[in-house]
Structure 1
Amino acid sequence: MYYKLLADLTVAVHFGYVAFVVLGVPLTILGAWRGWGWVRNRWFRGIHLTMILVVVLEAWAGVTCPLTTLEKDFRAAAGGQTYQGDFIANCLHDAMFFDLQPWAFTVGYTLFGALVVATLVLVPPRWRRQHG
């Protein structure tokens, strides 16, 4: 039971990672347009860039995401051979995983990484604290 719970928790963390990376781009663009100062925060932008770069480098190296591997290991330890999370875990899992060739993911991740880099140019982060 604990392994199944850990597997479902891993899916939730994985989904949170993906959501942060994906939603970071439109929120940065919308925030620049709306004047939201937090979208120019250097920590937010640096963490966002680092997270997508990790994904891109994993894809280029042909490395399976450690969160995917961890989830599969937990599912195997729970006695499951196929994905059998709870309803919410199933929904999160299905939203993240698609049946495509590995090269398609590498291209997609690389293009998305380039988009994140482009937002650094189009909506530059604040590198120094602004007083006042």
Structure 2
Amino acid sequence: MTLAPAPAALLADAILATHVGIVVFVVVGEALFLAGGVRGWRWVRHFGLRVTHLVTMAVIALQAWLGALCPLTVWERSLRRQAGQAAYRESFIEHWLSRALYFELPWWVFVAAYTGFAGLVVLTWRWVPPRRVRAGARR
């Protein structure tokens, strides 16, 4: 599907915002799950939230191991080209993390980071296990 430049740019920005939201959900969510486990926050054990977090991180790590770019990155880049804007060549995280740190890293560093973070997410299931709410039980 080909869009005019203005709608393509707007949609690319919306995808970028969604991508940032997913990164924040994964990273900040993990920190909050760990902190909430220590502090006794009940919401960090919400089963649906934790499954969503785990599956999201598993997909990210799997993409890295397969050497595949995130579909959001691919879609955003395509829209930026349609809009006549510059598009970055590497993965979303690699591009923005490299910019934040002012140097570039090889792909394997990101694979290792995603894998390590996915391992932390799995370990958090053990340290702060989610709980299923039984039918009729109070939350």
7, 20, 23: which is aligned to 2:12?
7
- What is the TM-score normalised by the length of structure 1? 0.85
Q: How do 1:31-110 residues align onto structure 2 when only pairs under 5 Å count? A: 31-82=36-87, 96-98=96-98, 99-110=104-115
Q: Which residue of 2 aligns with 1:116?
A: 121
1:82 positional shift? 4.1
TM-score of the pair, normalised by structure 2: 0.81
Query: Which of 122, 126, 129 in structure 1 is aligned with 2:131?
Result: 126
CA distance in structure 2 between the aligned counterparts of 1:64 and 1:95, rounded to whole angstroms: 12
Q: Secondary structure at the match of 1:110?
A: helix
Aligned to 2:35: 30
Deviations 1:83-129 (A, max 9, x none): 6xxxxxxxxx8984423211111000000000000100000111343
Identity, in percent, stands at: 42
Q: Deviations over 1:24-77 (max 9, x none)?
A: 111001112222111001101100000000000000111111111111001000
CA contact (8 A) 1:3 1:75 kept: yes
Cα root mean square deviation, aligned = 2.2
Contact 1:15 1:96 in 2 (8 A): no
State the secondary structure of the residue aligned to 2:58. Answer: helix
Q: Is this contact kept in 2: 1:7–1:74, CA < 8 A? A: yes
Deviates most, 43-52 or 121-130: 121-130
Say whether the 8 Å CA contact 1:59–1:106 is kept in structure 2.
yes
The CA distance in 2 between the partners of 1:20 and 1:40, in whole Å, is: 15
Relative to structure 1, the CA distance from residue 68 to residue 97 in structure 2 (aligned partners, 3 Å threshold; closer, same or farther) is: farther
Structure 2 residue runs without a partner (length 5+): 1-5, 99-103
**CA 1:131–1:106 in structure 2 vs 1: closer, same or farther (change >3 Å)?**
same
Alpha-carbon distance in 2 for matches of 1:4, 1:128: 43
